[in-house]
Amino acid sequence: MVNIALFSSFLEELAVVRLLSVLTIILGVTTSCHQESASKLKIIGGKPSAEHHPWFVQLMSDASSTEGFCGGTLVAPRVVVTAAHCVDAEYVRTLHVGLGMVDGENLHLNKPVKVEGILAHRDYDPETSKNDIAILYLADYQGVEFERPAAPLTFSRDTSSPEAEGRPVMVVGLGNATSVGDIFDGVIREVELPVLATAKCDEKYDNVDGAQICAGNWDNGGIDSCQGDSGGPMVSKDSAGSEVLVGVVSYGEGCAQKGAPGVYTRVASFAGWIDQAVETLKGHNSGQQSAGSMEKLLTTRCVSQFGYLPVENRAGEDNVRDTTYGMNLREFKLIDSDSPGLPVGTELDKCQFEDHGHAVDARWIRMSGSTGTPDSKVAVIATVTSPDGSAAKTWVSRPQRLVYLQDTLSCQSSMGQVILADQRKFTYVVYKDVFYALGEPAADPADNQTTWGCSIGDASIEVYEIGDGVTKELAARIHHRSIGTVSVKLDRIDRESDLSAGIDWESSTSGRLKIENKSTEDLFTWKLVCPVKYTMTLADGTSMSAVQESSGAGFSVLMDAALVREGTVRSGAAVDVGIKLDSPVRLSGSACVINGAIVVESTGQVAIH
Ligand code: ARG
């Protein structure tokens, strides 16, 4: 069997968002769930929500997006509670919220509602994930029709009872549904989790306090929220038995791993802040952040095109902390002060503001002569002048890699699957199972040149060779709404694959599917999609029939850890399940795929592939 590369491991490396520096890897968007971060699967070990939750919302990058990148909870008709790290700088000007959604392929059959005001907690700290909470104030949506009703959920003001240790809580989301790799299938899922003692949880993260709630299965893992669930609701029952919002999905190391529970912002600890933030956003407050409108808010927060200001000087402290809100915040880490040689390059954007009397001048530059992925070429140079007029200090920050595989587009070219990946900017391409970063601009393919590619909706990607015969390189011409139309070199990123799968055919209709997990994470929940109808037989003799994918692309079985034992493949282990086709078929050019990225190799009496 051939290994298929999964992105995951790779992602891990790239993405890692580590909370404390120690934590780990996230997929940032990248990998699946590695640490938190970055972004997005769905709920793991849960089930599709049978009931509509009228308070569950999705954050969307703009008015025309069809999928969200974070969850949220409607707590008043025009007020959404979400995570500060979800308020992505890139989207602040265009942020929309999907309400009253039906799940499925295109999440928002409804028109998303515009966000008019955003207030992320001023003390949100991307290093520690403390105060990971934000409020969105929505445009008036009277008259907008939703597919299903939208209605607010009360948030808890009681820091003790609803989320006491051992109590069951429910988390809802559209995030990644697998712990290694990527399943974002547009299905709203929910999972019931036990609340864990903060002290226990702190054994793992070393930085959890009473303003946070931890939940999960400490001993075995298997149930959790994951990338893409961030900002979404953790719900419990109050003393009267009514549902209340108690937590906001914040982070976790990996997803659903044993001894690494999910960490949630404890809403009740921020009840006063929420009340005040809502007043502020309504424009009723004349405080420092009296931002009645988005325009004003942006000015007060100093948002650059490349992120919220990455620097904020804390009064009296001689350091500048990275307090940008959202993913980009994490990408910019202040690494140096009084640097001898400041990086030079083209100025991309700038942002000037005053904080506690300190004048801050921040500039985003694209460094000249640098190599690497596009995001490594941006630096932020911030100069801070103290109120007492003492010498200005200059700080340089460089983006850290943080990539979620959240938004992936993939299609079949004549040379195999081409995947355009990265949560927001589509900065990675996977071609013939090799991961590439988008590099320098390249010449467009010539008219007579061979390209391998395909289009998905209004996006398209063509891979082609450039350079002379000796040093052939790959380039790609990509067209996508988020990046426009570009031709760039593809810089190969080598990594180990961490999942592999194959089917050994015993006859023309039956064989054994084997999945090996070589990653360091336990795999919970995986999904096999084949172009032909099939049935899987589990070790206990029960069988599961494939159901047609909603896209019509094939037939899938989701092996959920919570339901079937084979849904789990522990790190270093393999599973083996029987597979039977409805009828003998021979298809060329298309293969079975696990978690959307791992191609299943066939051996023996080949039927598929
Ligand atoms: N920060 C993640 C996101 O952006 C959520 C991570 C939750 N992780 C967990 N293991 N519970 O979607």
Q: Is residue 418 part of a domain?
A: no
Tokens describing residue 97? 């919220």
| Interval 11-58: pLDDT, tens | 222 222 222 222 212 222 222 222 222 222 247 888 788 789 999 999
Tokens describing residue 559? 């092996």
How far apart (Å, rounded) are the C-alpha atoms in residues 469 and 78? 60
Residue 326 CA to ligand 1 centre (angstroms): 13
Residue 37 CA to ligand 1 centre (angstroms): 6
- CB 419: neighbour CB atoms within 10 A? 22
Nearest ligand 1 atom to alpha carbon 256: 10
User: Residue 254: which of 281, 216, 286 has the closest Cα?
Assistant: 216
What number is the average pLDDT over the span 186-194?
93
Nearest ligand 1 atom to alpha carbon 228: 12
Q: Is residue 97 part of a domain?
A: yes
Nearest ligand 1 atom to alpha carbon 37: 1
Write the CATH number for 196.
2.40.10.10
Query: What pairing do the DSSP bridges indicate for beta strands 510-517 and 547-548?
Result: unpaired
Residue 27 has a pLDDT of 22
Q: Tell me the whole-structure pTM to 2 decimals.
A: 0.67
Cα distances from 149 to residues 33, 51, 54, 112, 146, in angstroms, run 31, 12, 6, 14, 6
> Regarding predicted confidence, which is higher, 602 or 174?
174
Instruction: Kindly state whether residues 133 and 245 are assigned to the same domain.
Output: yes
Instruction: Kindly state whether residues 251 and 342 are assigned to the same domain.
Output: no
Say if residue 305's pLDDT is above 50: no
Instruction: Kindly state whether residues 370 and 292 are assigned to the same domain.
Output: no
Instruction: Kindly state whether residues 302 and 337 are assigned to the same domain.
Output: no
Pocket test for ligand 1, best of 176, 251, 402 (most atoms within 8 A of CB): 251
39 Cβ below 6 A of ligand 1:
yes
**Domain containing residue 98:** 40-306
Residue 264 CA to ligand 1 centre (angstroms): 9
Judged by average pLDDT, the poorest of 147-161, 188-202, 307-321, 559-573 is: 307-321
Cα distances from 271 to residues 97, 123, 246, 292, 414, in angstroms, run 22, 15, 10, 20, 56
- The residues, ordered by sequence, that sit 6+ positions from 262 with a Cβ below 8 Å of its Cβ are 171, 193, 214, 215, 216, 224, 225, 249, 250, 251, 252, 255
Residue 98 has a pLDDT of 93
Residue 354 has a pLDDT of 60
pLDDT classification of 543: cutoffs 50, 70, 90: very high
Domain termination residue (choose one: 341, 369, 399): 399
Q: Give the 3-state secondary structure of residue 454.
A: strand
Instruction: Kindly state whether residues 271 and 385 are assigned to the same domain.
Output: no
User: Residue 313: which of 395, 399, 398 has the closest Cα?
Assistant: 395
Say if residue 563's pLDDT is above 80: no
Judged by average pLDDT, the poorest of 108-112, 407-411, 455-459, 513-517 is: 407-411
pLDDT classification of 410: cutoffs 50, 70, 90: low
What number is the average pLDDT over the span 499-524?
89
Q: Is residue 173 part of a domain?
A: yes
Residue 366 has a pLDDT of 66
Pocket test for ligand 1, best of 205, 218, 250, 257 (most atoms within 8 A of CB): 250
Say if residue 592's pLDDT is above 80: yes
Query: What pairing do the DSSP bridges indicate for beta strands 593-594 and 574-581?
Result: unpaired
What number is the average pLDDT over the span 182-207?
91
Instruction: Kindly state whether residues 507 and 372 are assigned to the same domain.
Output: no
251 Cβ below 6 A of ligand 1:
yes
What amino acid positions are annotated as catalytic residues?
85, 132, 230
Domain termination residue (choose one: 345, 377, 399): 399
What number is the average pLDDT over the span 440-451?
89
For residue 113, list its beta bridge partners: 97
| Interval 35-48: pLDDT, tens | 222 222 247 888 78
How far apart (Å, rounded) are the C-alpha atoms in residues 247 and 374? 36
249 Cβ below 6 A of ligand 1:
yes
What number is the average pLDDT over the span 511-533?
90
Compute φ and ψ for 452, nearest 5 degrees.
-120, 120
Residue 382 CA to ligand 1 centre (angstroms): 30
Tokens describing residue 543? 């069988």
How far apart (Å, rounded) are the C-alpha atoms in residues 499 and 522? 11
Residue 49 has a pLDDT of 83
Query: How many independent structural domains does the chain possess?
Result: 3
Q: Is residue 409 part of a domain?
A: no
226 Cβ below 6 A of ligand 1:
yes
Say if residue 319's pLDDT is above 70: no
Instruction: Kindly state whether residues 337 and 298 are assigned to the same domain.
Output: no
88 Cβ below 6 A of ligand 1:
no
382 Cβ below 6 A of ligand 1:
no
Tokens describing residue 119? 């207030």
Instruction: Kindly state whether residues 242 and 342 are assigned to the same domain.
Output: no
DSSP letters of 272-307? HHHHHHHHHHHT---STT---SHHHHHHHHTEETTE
Say if residue 595's pLDDT is above 60: yes
Residue 313 CA to ligand 1 centre (angstroms): 28
pLDDT classification of 307: cutoffs 50, 70, 90: very low
Say if residue 399's pLDDT is above 50: no
How far apart (Å, rounded) are the C-alpha atoms in residues 253 and 36? 6
Spatial contact of 323 and 382, defined as CB atoms under 8 Å apart:
no
Residue 214 has a pLDDT of 96
Q: Is residue 493 part of a domain?
A: no
Residue 480 CA to ligand 1 centre (angstroms): 26
Nearest ligand 1 atom to alpha carbon 173: 12
Residue 476 has a pLDDT of 92
Name the strand (E) or helix (H) holding 564.
none
| Interval 62-91: pLDDT, tens | 888 777 889 999 999 999 999 988 885 556
* DSSP category for residue 29: T
* DSSP category for residue 443: P
Q: Is residue 205 part of a domain?
A: yes
Say if residue 587's pLDDT is above 80: no
How far apart (Å, rounded) are the C-alpha atoms in residues 201 and 593? 36
Q: Is residue 149 part of a domain?
A: yes
Write the CATH number for 503.
2.60.40
Spatial contact of 582 and 532, defined as CB atoms under 8 Å apart:
yes
Instruction: Kindly state whether residues 144 and 220 are assigned to the same domain.
Output: yes
229 Cβ below 6 A of ligand 1:
yes
End-to-end CA distance of the chain: 13
- The residues, ordered by sequence, that sit 6+ positions from 203 with a Cβ below 8 Å of its Cβ are none
Q: Is residue 572 part of a domain?
A: yes
Instruction: Kindly state whether residues 284 and 173 are assigned to the same domain.
Output: yes
Average pLDDT, the chain: 73
Nearest ligand 1 atom to alpha carbon 253: 10
What number is the average pLDDT over the span 311-330?
29
Instruction: Kindly state whether residues 224 and 116 are assigned to the same domain.
Output: yes
User: Residue 278: which of 94, 135, 453 has the closest Cα?
Assistant: 135
What number is the average pLDDT over the span 525-532?
90
Instruction: Kindly state whether residues 134 and 248 are assigned to the same domain.
Output: yes
Residue 471 has a pLDDT of 66
| Interval 209-242: pLDDT, tens | 999 999 999 999 999 999 889 999 999 988 888 9
Residue 493 has a pLDDT of 66
Query: Which stretches within 251-382 are classed as H helix?
Result: 271-282, 294-301, 327-331
Domain termination residue (choose one: 344, 368, 399): 399
Compute φ and ψ for 407, nearest 5 degrees.
-95, 100
